[in-house]
Amino acid sequence: MIHTTCKGARQRMGVVIATGLMASCGFGVLFSAPWIKDADNDDVVFIGDSIFALSGEVQASLYARNGGTFRNYTTSGAELEGGSLAPSVREQFDRSVSDDPTSPIVVMDGGGNDILIPAVTLLDPYDCKTQWYEFGRLSRRCRDFIDDIYVDAVDLLNDMAVSGVNEVIYLGYYYPKGGLLGADDLDEAVDYGDGVLAQACAFSAVDCVFIDPRSTIKKSDIIIDGVHPATSGSNKLADLIWSELEPRL
């Protein structure tokens, strides 16, 4: 059982229950596929947010191709570092190492909730949404904020290398669509964010490959909340990951 602290989350409960992305105390864990600490293949560990964790369909598709499970610590609502809604991606990795430090391959995402949660629940304090009349004008405040995420990502990836991880497959983010979460108008933040995460992957100490799903995931591949992958989207993401993961197994 994972315990999280509750720091006055401001999310509306109806949206929380519908999506599992954001939560008051404990809901990030409730709306997540189960953690797997001891898998059929312990060489691979998954960490990340609700793109993986909410339905668990990406991993399920990969388990079927692998013929067995991988370790999994992904949790809905997770931010890359910190956050009060769920164990962060950093905390997930630390927990995975504590449970078993021998997994040489990490499959992950992270950084999306750092942008999305304040944008849709806290009146967009970093000005990461761009209206149609602001095309090409992502705010300096948002870019500076995403640059800070770059630092967190590089630090985490470097620490993975020190911990004995040999290879990382880092899944980037696709464009959300208008839906229950109100996550539209974030395309330019996604563009800038994926570029930053790709750089973090390239310039870290660990052997890291970045997967860019923006041209693959269409609006029809996203469920009604506007953020999470439908079955078709999960299968497409699994295809992208498997093309990188299979040769490493």
pLDDT tens-digit profile of 170-213?
999 999 998 888 898 999 999 999 999 999 999 999 999 999 99
Does some domain include residue 144? yes
Percent of the chain with pLDDT over 90: 80
| Residues 27-66: b if buried by 16+ CB within 10 A, e if exposed | bbbebbbebbeebeebebbbbbbbbbbbbbbbbebbbeeb
Mean pLDDT, to the nearest integer, of 25-45? 83
Strand partners, 210: 170
Range of the domain at 115: 27-248
Does some domain include residue 21? no
We report the CATH number of the domain holding residue 244 as 3.40.50.1110
Does some domain include residue 89? yes
Q: Please determine, for residue 72, whether its predicted confidence score (pLDDT) is greater than 50.
A: yes
pLDDT in tens, 118-134: 999 889 999 999 986 66
Mean per-residue pLDDT of the chain = 89
Does some domain include residue 72? yes
Q: In what order do the strands lie in the sheet with 70-72?
A: 70-72, 41-47, 105-108, 167-171, 207-211
Does some domain include residue 209? yes
Does some domain include residue 237? yes
Does some domain include residue 13? no
Does some domain include residue 6? no
Question: What's residue 28's pLDDT?
Answer: 61
Give the count of beta carbons closer than 10 Å to the beta carbon of residue 104: 13
Q: Which residues have a Cβ under 8 Å from the Cβ of 2 and sit 6 or more positions away?
A: 29, 35, 75, 87
Total count of domains within the chain: 1
Mean pLDDT, to the nearest integer, of 101-118? 97
